[in-house]
Structure 1
Amino acid sequence: MRRRDFLLGGGVLAPTAAAAGYATGVEPYFRLVETHWHPRPATWPEGLKLRIVALADIHMGPPQMTPDRLRRIVRQSLALAPDLVVLLGDYKADHPYVSRDVYTGDIIAILSQLQAPLGVWAVLGNHDWWLDRHAQARRGGPTFWHAAFDRDGIPVLENAAVKLRHRGQDLWLAGLGSQQAFRGAARPGHHDLAATLAPLADDDAPAILLAHEPDIFPKVPQRVALTLSGHTHGGQVRVLGYSPLVTSGYGNRFAYGHIIEHGRHLCVSGGLGCSRVPLRFGVPPEIMVVDLG
């Protein structure tokens, strides 16, 4: 090999190797950012301030996501002084790169340390459903996650809505079932948007929707001020605002961040853990903070 070709080859291979090392050994293990969004939906009352801290896609499984690391994430979340904490699904890793299993109850026991004046509320993700073989077999819930969250006092909103009171103002918090709850070629869901939003017809109080997968967003009516989602992990690899592979039927349209369409607002978290492979590049694990009003 000529010296020039060798140097050119090294000039390509060295940065590539460095990027691969960072993506597999640094970003998914050691980085954690706080991402702040400030949506201003037209249907949100002027001056009603609400801080939401959202944790998505924890995918608990050492060595990438350990119980101690989740405890640190919980402490950092509490330091943000949220009015409301929401958990957006996919709590346990099911990829083959996990060094040891962590019991479901231990994961939720850590999450139960979260506190906020308006409470801590959860929805389930597709992986939560997939890990329950009995729910898969009967094509229905509840899952063992529902029972485990209930034991530790964290309500799971499964196609349901609850009315909260904040600074003298009523508001709705709704939670949609996973849109990919069941394994299979079509990955049918356990979601029912009409049933989820039915209680909102009683009044015109502002509403927030939790939906693990963001693909429901085009069907969400303007009655809902804000939709919060996870699932995509921001693509896990993101360069200059583009993700080559996104677990959404809409590709990069709903891959990550604050999206506004036809006056409707969606915030998609990049998540905390990893799915399929423990790799992240350009989209570090994040605590998503949403400030309304």
Structure 2
Amino acid sequence: MNKKWLPFKSEKEDVVIKKHSLKLLRQPHAEPLKVIHISDLHLGFHYSYDDLIYHIQIINDLHPDLIIISGDLFDNIDYYQNPEHLIPLLKTLKAPLGVFFSYGNHDQRIHQTPRINRILSASHIQLLTNTGVLLNYDSEPIFLGGLDDVINSKGNVYQTLKNRPEDMMTMMIVHEPDYADFVEQFGIDLQFSGHSHGGQIRIPLLGAPVRPQLGRKYVRGLYKVGKMTLHVSPGLGTTHLPIRLFCPPEITLFNIK
């Protein structure tokens, strides 16, 4: 795979695969839990079927146990003459513990969530909106929660966690990363976020001059927020302008021990 990337526009072949190891599981395991985190594809805004095919192939070749999509899967669903044609592609995402998604601000603001919900359901992608599920990894229970979007909707941590058993590894999907300052008080081990696009346009020595609401403090990569680990994905797509500068798209693989 060609990892070289043009500074003024990242093409689909320029995606970076970044790997992290974390110690969060409560029980010993022969193999780590492999979690793929992606975000912000912005389907409908300069993100093509070919881009989706290419990125799904990379993800499946990594053989994850679990796939997390932390919002803004869609941008302008009407861009596609028949958005339901995305279903056969999205169905090819493979992970034995499932593929999970929570809404971002762009998903919500296009006001087509019923249609998006039908596409997700037909694609075997489980939508988490202020709810959580129990996963079983090698006989260890794991709680995965997902907030609805915080900016354009009604993300509710209390509702999401109301059925969580005590003393259990807990992961949370929250589109906006800066909300971690509130979420960390609830005993979350790992929060998956996107939204910021890593800045999308970064200037050497200065960083990202433009940062979105609730994506200004935590911009990309790993952070420690209290006792919680936060990961902010730079995303796979772009927003507003189809340009990335010193900020290539990323697929992140976690080996959780």
Aligned mates of 1:112, 1:167 — CA distance in 2: 24
- Helix, strand or coil for the counterpart of 2:52? helix
Identify the residue that residue 106 of structure 2 maps to in structure 1: 127
Match of 1:274 among 238, 252, 257: 238
Aligned mates of 2:213, 2:18 — CA distance in 1: 21
Match of 1:148 among 119, 123, 139: 119
Match of 1:55 among 26, 34, 38: 38
Paired residue type of 1:84? L
Q: TM-score, normalised by structure 2?
A: 0.88
Tell whether 2:40 aligns with 1:69. Answer: no
4+ long deviations beyond 6 Å:
none
Match of 1:245 among 210, 234, 238: 210
Identify the residue that residue 184 of structure 1 maps to in structure 2: none
The structure carrying a bigger helix percent of its residues is 1
- Helix, strand or coil for the counterpart of 1:143? helix
Verify the 8 A CA contact 1:248 1:255 in the aligned structure 2. Answer: no
Aligned mates of 1:212, 1:102 — CA distance in 2: 27
Identify the residue that residue 198 of structure 2 maps to in structure 1: 234
Q: Deviations over 1:52-99 (max 9, x none)?
A: 11221111237x42101211100110111101011122123349xx9x
- Helix, strand or coil for the counterpart of 1:92? coil
Tell whether 2:13 aligns with 1:33. Answer: no
Match of 2:175 among 200, 207, 212: 212
Query: 241-250 or 85-94: which moved more?
Result: 241-250
Query: 202-211 or 74-83: which moved more?
Result: 202-211
Aligned length: 249
After TM superposition, list the pairs within 5 Å mapping 1:77-156 onto structure 2: 77-94=59-76, 101=80, 103-132=82-111, 143-156=114-127
Tell whether 2:45 aligns with 1:45. Answer: no
Verify the 8 A CA contact 2:12 2:51 in the aligned structure 1. Answer: no
Verify the 8 A CA contact 2:56 2:92 in the aligned structure 1. Answer: yes
Q: TM-score, normalised by structure 1?
A: 0.78
Instruction: Give the root-mean-square deviation of aligned CA atoms.
Output: 2.3
Query: 153-162 or 143-152: which moved more?
Result: 143-152
Identify the residue that residue 159 of structure 1 maps to in structure 2: 130
Query: 212-221 or 172-181: which moved more?
Result: 212-221
Post-superposition offset of 1:152:
2.5
Structure whose alpha-carbon radius of gyration is higher: 1
Contiguous gaps of at least 5 residues in structure 2: none
Paired residue type of 1:40? K
Aligned mates of 2:215, 2:249 — CA distance in 1: 22
Q: Deviations over 1:124-172 (max 9, x none)?
A: 1111111126xxxxxxxx5321222112222100100000110110111
Q: Cα–Cα, structure 1 residues 75 and 102, in superposed 2: closer, same or farther, change >3 Å? A: farther
Contiguous gaps of at least 5 residues in structure 1: 1-20, 134-141, 182-188
Identify the residue that residue 160 of structure 2 maps to in structure 1: 196
Post-superposition offset of 1:30:
4.0
Identify the residue that residue 260 of structure 1 maps to in structure 2: 224
Q: Deviations over 1:225-255 (max 9, x none)?
A: 100011110010123472111114362x310
% identical aligned pairs: 26
The structure carrying a bigger strand percent of its residues is 2
Verify the 8 A CA contact 2:196 2:234 in the aligned structure 1. Answer: yes
Paired residue type of 1:234? G
Aligned mates of 1:210, 1:105 — CA distance in 2: 25
Paired residue type of 1:173? L
Aligned mates of 1:84, 1:283 — CA distance in 2: 25
Post-superposition offset of 1:46:
5.2
Aligned mates of 1:240, 1:102 — CA distance in 2: 43
Identify the residue that residue 256 of structure 2 maps to in structure 1: 292
